[in-house]
Chains A and B, each alone.
Chain A
């Protein structure tokens, strides 16, 4: 089982899939920074003065990390960036679930979709599980990378 989960065949596919997800997620935010700024504002977690700079920088960091994973360049660094971002997303959505502040997560779409409170809360729970799943993918990459390193040292 351990060999199967850390097999390079699986690791390369997980790496490319994760990279593609991050690239796809970054594009709508890069195309429309004001809407993404609005999404960040809705989280009510970022101070007013940092909303714009966050909404500008985050998608580009997402894009570069995603591209690095797809191209296999700076894999460990890209993995770290993706893990940090996923952790931030999970915490941010969870805090708002706890506060009953229903928001569109703005993960893949920055347009206001006019959902009801209940629909948004449901989607936020789905988003947390989806991000946890992606965090597991990062874990798999880390594990496979470590095994590869150990094999090289041997």
Chain B
């Protein structure tokens, strides 16, 4: 390859990068990206969920398993940097609070097989795991208690329809860290951090809600619930929904 062609090839790539950075600097809030993002499990292939042939009994609450076996210890080291990264990103001082690193938990893989928890133990803080997956019945109960709901989908999708009262917290938009920081400021008291928060996205293989839960867990929120089936399920049940930019 000629030297001139090599130079031009490099110039095209560099020009593309420069234009991209300039375009991003002037992009609107919902189109803008932070140059460095923190996305848990970016290199981890999700395990495939195969639909069971026989429907399982109704399980109102599902919990991410906690183990103390050797593989779990490995998983913990894989998990905690994410939590720490979230702390760093939102500009909080990890030393100011007891870090979650003292607990051992399995990697919060979004689609790891869940186990059930007794329904009587509903909605208690669970600092040893980033989130608990729940189904419609529990979500409805929490909605009735005016618990904070966070919508992890894109803002444009949120505006087309969302759970009544839910706030937009898209993990893919550049202001997510500001929103998380603001939430932390609003709930800086440890008692407030133990209040339940429900996070949802589009159900199915959508992982945005799990990602947001991990971000919040990384800054000590310890009572997070992921509505596994998400907004489509909420709509199917005919539960209250709003459209537009306001909760």
Q: What residues of chain A have their CB less than 8 Å away from a CB belonging to chain B?
A: 30-35, 37-38, 41, 44-49, 51-53, 55-65, 68, 74, 76-78, 80-81, 99-102, 112, 114, 117
Given A37-B37, A52-B34, A74-B11; 11 other pairs, CB 8 A cutoff: A33-B24, A34-B172, A35-B154, A37-B172, A44-B46, A52-B35, A56-B24, A60-B16, A65-B16, A77-B8, A77-B9
Q: Among the listed A37, A58, A64, which residue makes an inter-chain contact with B12, where contact means beta carbons less than 8 Å apart?
A: A64
Residue of B nearest to A45 (CB): B43
Residue of B nearest to A114 (CB): B204
Q: Among the listed A52, A64, A99, A114, which residue makes an inter-chain contact with B37, where contact means beta carbons less than 8 Å apart?
A: A52
A-B pair count, CB < 8 Å, reads 113
**Cβ distance B16 to chain A, nearest Cβ, rounded Å:** 3
**Chief secondary structure at chain B's binding surface:** loop
Would you call B164 an interface residue if the criterion is a C-beta within 8 Å of the partner chain's C-beta atoms?
no
- Interface segment out of the listed B25-33, B63-71, B98-106: B25-33
Give 21 A-B contacts (CB < 8 Å), ordered by A residue: A34-B31, A34-B170, A38-B172, A44-B41, A48-B37, A48-B42, A51-B42, A52-B35, A53-B35, A56-B24, A57-B16, A59-B20, A60-B19, A61-B20, A62-B16, A65-B16, A76-B5, A81-B9, A99-B45, A101-B45, A101-B46
Q: Given that A34-B172, A44-B43, A81-B13 are contacting pairs, would A49 and B36 also be in contact in the complex, using a CB cutoff of 8 Å?
A: yes
Q: Given that A34-B173, A77-B12 are contacting pairs, would A60 and B20 also be in contact in the complex, using a CB cutoff of 8 Å?
A: yes
Once bound together, how far apart are the Cα atoms of A64 and B17, in whole Å? 10
Contact residues in B for A57 (Cβ distance below 8 Å): 16-17, 20-21
Contact residues in B for A34 (Cβ distance below 8 Å): 30-31, 33, 154, 170, 172-173
A60 touches B17 (CB 8 A): yes
**Cβ distance A81 to chain B, nearest Cβ, rounded Å:** 5
